[in-house]
Amino acid sequence: MGTAIFMVLMVCGYWYTSRDLSTRFKIKRSFGWDVYFLVALYGCIFVLQGVFATAIIWLLLLAISAIFNAIPQLADGLYHQWQIEFMNWSFLGIQAPVVIMLAFAVIFCLYRSSWSGSARLDSTGRKKLYKELSRSNGVEGLLFQCMEEGELVMITLVSRHIYIGMVHAAAYDNLTTANVVLIPMLSGYRDSQSQNLNIEHNYSRWYAEHGITLVSQPTSALAFRKVIMLSQIESLSLFDAASASALPFGRTAEIGSEKQ
């Protein structure tokens, strides 16, 4: 019996954490034993819900038995104790209340992970969820702000190379493939001694001269997008184009027709 309860607990926890959107993001951000405890936590919640549902059935049988015993015409000369029979009934060698409790746990798990409103978020709901989850992480919060408000971000790589542009997308689900998709406006490098920002490629000027926008055809700005691994990022910050002239830029070179 204990093995059956444990198996249903872990299976329900795993099923829910691997399919519910908000929980899947949380578990992707967990490590080591935290993952197992998170799975067990949700499994315990569903099992407890099954216990409460079974208890409600027992209370209903108790109330019905009391009503029948209180009314002689209904009792038919017998003393009914259906709640006791319910507790003593067995199914395949397992007490029926345990089987019903586990069945309720599975049903609640399937409902919460597949059929409930929270399991089928629309675009607005997803956006709200991303915003809430990104608050706990500075990098994700800043990237989400850039995507939501269309602000430019300046990304400094560990190689001292710098990209300034618009954040098109970001993926954090897998630590080994976590990345940022950037539509570059400027790129260059930070001088190792003076720390001046030397601009090598002016993508924004190239876009303007060739009529390239996010929706232009046959070539759009997405053709120049850069996929940057988060593991290669040293720092990032918002970039204010209006005050860019105040930065200690070095030389500037335009890009040619080759996509950098």
Around Cβ 230, how many Cβ atoms within 10 Å?
Answer: 18
Supply the pLDDT for residue 149. 79
Reported as a single tens digit per residue, the pLDDT across 117-167 is 555 555 565 566 666 666 666 777 777 777 777 788 888 888 888 899 888
Supply the pLDDT for residue 238. 84
Taking CA 164 as the corner, what is the angle to CA 233 and CA 155, rounded to the nearest 5 degrees?
15
Judged by average pLDDT, the poorest of 3-12, 58-67, 79-88, 243-252 is: 243-252
CA pair distance 105, 113, nearest whole angstrom = 12
More confident residue, 117 or 114: 114
**What burial class does residue 251 get, using C-beta atoms within 10 Å of its C-beta: 0-12 exposed, 13-18 middle, 19+ buried?**
exposed
- pTM value? 0.56
- Read off the pLDDT of each residue in 175-198 and give the average, rounded to a whole number: 80
**Token digits for 41?**
């936590």
- What is the domain partition of the chain in residue ranges? 2-119, 124-252
| DSSP annotation string for 161-208 | EEEEEEEEEEE-SSTTT-EEEEEEEEEEEE-TTT--EEEEEEHHHHHH
* Residue 119 half-sphere exposure toward CB, CA atoms < 13 A: 15
Supply the pLDDT for residue 92. 67
Reported as a single tens digit per residue, the pLDDT across 19-51 is 776 677 677 666 677 778 888 888 899 999 999
**Which amino acid, one-letter code, is at 158?**
V
- The CATH class of 124-252 is mainly beta
